[in-house]
Chains A and B, each alone.
Chain A
């Protein structure tokens, strides 16, 4: 179709995700447009797109405007995405464009400022309290901000352990569900199943909290007694109610939809050719999944798991309800404790004392750094993948 290749071809964005998709040719649409009618889009089998409001008749091309000159004289199309305001250096920049551009970049600056302020305020407000801390902030296991005796070691331990157990439980199940939806379930079943899993994500965390405390945790007690026969200091049975284990299972249910959604997304994008090649070589469905789907989706699953971990680390209210608060430090997962978030929530009544508040803010700062590192790692995995695929 070389005769169709008009200059507008160069404007086209790269063709669709899959190499199998034919490149879209935008040339034919241009001829169907009328300058004075509403925009009609008749290209490449896509749905008709109709802007909500018809184009204002007042804004027809103005003779002498920079845009008209740029097109008529040079016949070079503007770079896609760059509007009339920026496509030529010759014309004046319209005032509306200047204002709107400033508004959008102003909003971006606002977001940047807010995130920086979060970091700055957490640091500034926590430093005096850390300086007055009577214990070592990093290694002490006591957390008693009211008396300025606080350290984060026990909180860090509980936060990390509870989140990791949640991930150990949730990730394999999430991968299973994602495979079920994308590879096993018939199309008619897959959509409702995906919807059901998304429902889990929509339930507010406080409801997981009361459900975990009143319904799930009592049922888990015999399970914990059974598991406590395992060797090692992790499994020593201390207080069988409101344990780290209970909290971890509630968190597992909460992060399940996050990990599932992202895994499903990458599994769905496995190139059709890879799947068919594996099947054509006589692979069973499971062998096909192991050879084509899982290698393709690995990075996506890892980043989904990291995002879920970030969510689990920062989860407040569900953990607050389920965990019984036990001071001190112990390696057992069959006892209560406090995570950063639940300790802060628990201490919210103590916030009238600025020094104590500073201690809680310091805990918040550590939590912020922790989730930041985990999320940054997830992004790094995603971005590295972009470079290769």
Chain B
């Protein structure tokens, strides 16, 4: 008993090596964060500073690249936006119903072996690299069925990448819907399917939309399927089922990148003008500007989608 009265409890500050270690850890942790900011700021600055000069040009958004040589300024991304939008739209139309139904199955019905196998397969699907998905579509539709490369095949490859993203968010969101809602509906004699369609899904709707938009943002910037499954066209091609050539934003970036490297070597002492005469000095090359412009356009689109997803998600009424 006496020991309790002898000394009032005093909290000794950490001293010596303990204090040193603690401070060191604080510094390192803060440093790690600062280190992560460097590439982000650097990358965004590069893309914005180099891309901004072309995208504010009026015809950037309304014209395509047909007939525009490297030494000519101008041209736009219209063809690429058309291609990307069509391919992603087809992909979304296929992915969303399938993925939402799978999510519903896993949460509302899933018991027994089929549910376990489905979860496992969705896990595998999450890990499939985009180039493998593209190879599969190529092996199935081009080598086996003898089809041609086309924009819609890209959509099919993107479906493989998009489904697991949406299944995961759907699953998460449906699990957050309070069971009381389902029970109340059942108690009113509402059949299970109608409960899911009219009560559970509307309740989780904003979460589902967030998942879909994030899925779209993920596949919009995918390049590997485009390399394998469709050729790049510089003119606007509206038909994703046709000729085998369709522009898209990632392949436009790649195309302009290659134009820089093949045509703009600094060692060239002369170039040919419009009349075919030799003129001293290397030709001006506008491919660099267009490459960064296309990159900035892609970032703007993807970031806008992410922002939309976040805003919709914030309206989510269910909280975990």
Contact = CB atoms under 8 A, between A and B. Distances in A.
Interface string B11-31: 110100011011011101111
A60 B187 CA distance: 9
B1 interface: no
A62 B189 contact: yes
A207 B295 contact: yes
A172 B217 CA distance: 28
Interface stretch (A224-232, A313-321, A327-335): A313-321
B51 to A, nearest CB: 10
Given A104-B105, A372-B127, A71 B187 contact: yes
A115 B142 CA distance: 18
Contact of B128 (A174, A368, A376): A368
Interface string B29-53: 1111101110110110011000000
Interface in A57-95: 59-62, 65, 67-68, 71, 77-78, 80-81, 83-87, 94
Contact of A207 (B129, B138, B189, B299): B299
B189 A67 contact: yes
B279 interface: no
B134 to A, nearest CB: 8
Interface string A14-40: 000000000000100110010100010
- The prevalent SS among residues of A at the interface is helix
A314 B183 CA distance: 44
A310 B21 CA distance: 34
Contacts of A379: 123
Interface string B81-114: 0000000000000000111011011101100001
B129 A315 contact: yes
A344 B135 CA distance: 9
Interface string B199-224: 10011010000000000010011111
Interface residues of A, number: 127
Contact of A51 (B14, B33, B203): B203
A111 B136 contact: no
A375 B298 CA distance: 29
B42 to A, nearest CB: 7
B256 to A, nearest CB: 9
A341 interface: yes
Nearest to B219: A204
A179 interface: yes
Contacts of A214: 46
A210 B131 contact: no
B117 interface: yes
Contact of A125 (B97, B98, B139): B139
B241 to A, nearest CB: 20
Given A96-B193, A316-B131, 11 more contacts: A41-B180, A55-B185, A59-B190, A81-B182, A83-B192, A83-B193, A104-B102, A125-B139, A207-B221, A344-B131, A372-B127
13 contacts: A12-B179, A53-B202, A104-B105, A106-B101, A108-B105, A203-B302, A284-B14, A317-B227, A345-B228, A354-B143, A374-B127, A375-B126, A375-B127
